[in-house]
Amino acid sequence: MKDQKYNILYLDDEESNLRIFRAAFKQFFKIFIAKSGMEGLEVLKENEIHLIITDQRMPKMTGVEFLEKILHEYPEPVRIILTGFSDIEDIIRALNKCGIYRYIVKPWNREEMKLTIDKALETYQLRKDNLSLVNELKLINANLEDKIRERTAELLEAKEKAEEASRAKELFLSTMSHEIRTPLNAIVGVSNLLKMADIPQEHLDSIEILEISANNLLVLINDILDLSKIEAGKIELESTDFNLKNLIRGIHKTHDTKVTDKGLDLELDFDDELPNFIIGDQVRLGQIITNLLSNAVKFTEFGFVRTTVKKVKERDDEVDLLFIIQDSGIGISAEMINKIFEDFSQASTDTTRKYGGTGLGLGITKKLVGLHGGQIVVESEEGKGSTFKFQINFRKSDKIIEDERLTIRSQEELKDLEGLLILVVEDNKFNQAIAKKFLTGWNAEVKFANNGVEALEILKTDRSFKIILMDIQMPEMDGYEATRQIRALPQPYYKEIPIIALTASTLSGEREKVLQAGMNDFVMKPFKPEMLYGTLQTFSSGKITEGPEEKEEEKEAKRGEIKFGRFKRMVENDISFYAELLELTIEDYKQFKDEFDESIIEHDHEKISEICHKIRPSLITLGLKWLDDDILALRETLKEEPSQQEKILKAKNMIIDNLDFVMESLQKELGQI
């Protein structure tokens, strides 16, 4: 930009100074002059000014006051102020306040003034260019944001369409699975009936072909559904205790017939250090081993199929296990070995024609191993067999024997439940009929409630029931809420009667959830008769306090009192066990005291909930509802009024003091035994 394009406003109350400045610089710039701040404002209103030079000492409005006045309305011009030596301190204080670029001490020198003006106008141009660049960037950003919004909207639309397609696919597969399974199950069932009939051998051969084909179709349907679930992320691994050796032995047994027909040796090798029980997903591990073992048997015409399980690494609560399935079958060529884990892929078309199958099994197997955090590898040579290996980490189990409730039939005949009156809270009539069939078959007496509301009404007027079987999902009032309300009723009967949850949920943590609601245990639906019977046997032996009125000794203790009688009745006056129970309670309270103090300070609500849940049963048993209520009140204060530190500290100290008193009383009781 050339000099003449710049406009300079020069303010000075002395006419001579104005003439000198105009004469000195009019050839370079367009000069506007003003004798006062008010005149300067008029010039600014009517002209675009790039540089303002003002004298400090002017009547009515000083230079600094003028620059302050125009600071926000006219921010673009660069500002220079002229001053005498006596004004320098005021000018220095005003530099930042007024946005002054520079001050010049009078009298000024023409060359120095020209140099200062040039630098000031360079600054102006730089600011203008920067502002232009900023505006361009803002425009670019705005356009970019528009494009991002458009792209995001497109992606969201694509995501919604993909999810809709996935749901449609899932619904289609589910519907088709059901529609295909129904006639196939009928075909298999009729085939089994026909095989039992007295018919010629050639017809039996045809029936066997029919049955094999139907079973193959069922396997294919299961594979497709599993693949769909894995791709949709719908498969979540369970964590349950199970007997590893029994699982694998059972899988081997299912292959006995085919192995015998082919004349193969089916071998099983367990590491001596292998744990009997582990915690993991029994069903999915079984599926992995079944797929690999079935493949090995299918593609082996002579020789052996061997399953080996080894312990690789062991930590405090975990163990790494290596599974090896080896065969002497047809093997896999080097070119095809990387393709066998692809969905719908087999080693060759000849393999498909000769052995059948869809090529889904190994693809699903690889994905299931991946869900476990493992990796499957294969070693193979065409014509010399194959070896599949995978390693999975499991949690250790404390379990050393099978659940008594699951094996009770094999240990002894079912005992008679005669005289056991059971309230079944279940809204499904079919489930009611099934429960009635088994319970009456064991000579128990049964009464039904269709939901939690009905159950409460029945129990309020009839306390002759010995056990409650409580469904979880019900209309009007679910099993959790019904249990909480039953436990809240005042008489001891309602706190003592065993409540067994009936749940179809397979979610992890279900046991903890039903226990927190006040139930004693749970049985999965559809239940195994042995499991239900074993549970009823476990809880039918306890005595439940009955009668319409409470005895004096059953009432909750007053503040500062402890009901030792409840502990004694609970252990049926077994003095040794009573002493052991007191010692355990004292230890629990000591641990609670330390953890409670720390958790309150840290406002760790989850930890507070956990430790309070642990000691609550003993507080209630000892009649210490007053202390339980104090703890509950403090927890509410922490949630609702976390800033009330003084109130929280006072309540915490009171609870700690009361807990010390209770432990002291327990210790005295222990000393008297």
- Right CATH number for 3-108 from 3.40.1310.30, 3.40.50.2300, 3.40.50.2000, 2.40.10.350? 3.40.50.2300
Least confident of 42-51, 103-112, 496-505: 496-505
Does 323 have pLDDT greater than 90?
yes
* 410/563: higher pLDDT: 563
Least confident of 100-104, 141-145, 202-206: 202-206
pLDDT for 32 equals: 95
Angstrom distance (rounded) from CA 445 to CA 458:
15
468: closest CA among 482, 147, 53, 65? Answer: 482
Helix axes 110-196, 15-25, angle to 10 degrees: 70
Burial of 393 (0-12, 13-18, 19+ CB in 10 A): middle
* 169/333: higher pLDDT: 333
Tell me the fold of 404-540: Rossmann fold (3.40.50)
Whether residue 490 contacts residue 516, with contact meaning beta carbons closer than 8 Å, is answered with no
- Give the rounded distance of the alpha carbon of 459 from its chain centre: 38
CB neighbours of residue 244 within 10 Å: 21
The full length of the chain comes to 673
**Average pLDDT of 255-275?**
88
pLDDT for 629 equals: 80
6 pLDDT band (50/70/90 cuts)?
very high
Does 508 have pLDDT greater than 50?
no
Bridge-based pairing state of the strands 376-380 and 386-396: antiparallel
pLDDT for 560 equals: 67
pLDDT for 231 equals: 66
Angstrom distance (rounded) from CA 532 to CA 408:
11
Least confident of 315-319, 373-377, 395-399, 537-541: 537-541
pLDDT for 534 equals: 78
Specify the DSSP class assigned to residue 554.
G
Least confident of 216-225, 381-390, 426-435, 566-575: 566-575
Mean pLDDT, the chain, rounded, equals 79
Bridge-based pairing state of the strands 499-503 and 521-524: parallel
Angstrom distance (rounded) from CA 4 to CA 30:
6
Domains 3-108 and 404-540 share a fold: yes
Does 406 have pLDDT greater than 50?
no
- The domain locations on the chain are 3-108, 240-396, 404-540, 556-671
Angstrom distance (rounded) from CA 51 to CA 114:
13
pLDDT for 192 equals: 65
Does 345 have pLDDT greater than 50?
no
Does 84 have pLDDT greater than 90?
no
Angstrom distance (rounded) from CA 621 to CA 43:
92
The amino acid at 396 = K
Does 223 have pLDDT greater than 70?
no
pLDDT for 348 equals: 44
Structure tokens at 100: 């002054």
299: closest CA among 221, 368, 380, 245? Answer: 380
CA separation, residue 220 to residues 216, 223, 224, 225, 642 (Å): 6, 5, 6, 9, 58
What is the dotted CATH code of the domain comprising 556-671? Answer: 1.20.120
Whether residue 54 contacts residue 100, with contact meaning beta carbons closer than 8 Å, is answered with no
394: closest CA among 415, 374, 424, 380? Answer: 374
Angstrom distance (rounded) from CA 632 to CA 169:
49
pLDDT in tens, 11-45: 999 999 999 999 999 999 999 999 999 999 999 99
221 Cβ contact partners less than 8 Å away, ≥ 6 residues apart: 177, 180, 181, 184
Least confident of 56-70, 93-107, 199-213, 419-433: 199-213
* 410/490: higher pLDDT: 490
Structure tokens at 579: 């002493």
639 Cβ contact partners less than 8 Å away, ≥ 6 residues apart: 605
CA separation, residue 46 to residues 31, 42, 50, 155, 312 (Å): 14, 7, 13, 53, 89
pLDDT in tens, 227-255: 666 666 666 777 888 889 888 888 888 78
Structure tokens at 445: 């007496």
664 pLDDT band (50/70/90 cuts)?
confident
pLDDT in tens, 155-202: 888 888 877 877 776 666 666 665 666 566 667 666 766 766 677 776
Does 401 have pLDDT greater than 50?
no
Tell me the fold of 240-396: Heat Shock Protein 90 (3.30.565)
8: closest CA among 38, 45, 59, 43? Answer: 43
Whether residue 648 contacts residue 634, with contact meaning beta carbons closer than 8 Å, is answered with yes
Bridge-based pairing state of the strands 265-270 and 304-314: parallel
- Give the rounded distance of the alpha carbon of 337 from its chain centre: 37
pLDDT for 574 equals: 55
**Average pLDDT of 414-437?**
77
Angstrom distance (rounded) from CA 361 to CA 340:
10
Angstrom distance (rounded) from CA 631 to CA 625:
10
Rounded to the nearest 5 percent, the helix, strand and coil shares of the chain are 55, 15, 30
- Helix H, strand E, coil C: the string for 216-265 is HHHHHHHHHHHHHHHHCCCCCCCCEEEEHHHHHHHHHHHCHHHHHHHCCE
Does 352 have pLDDT greater than 70?
no
Angstrom distance (rounded) from CA 630 to CA 652:
9
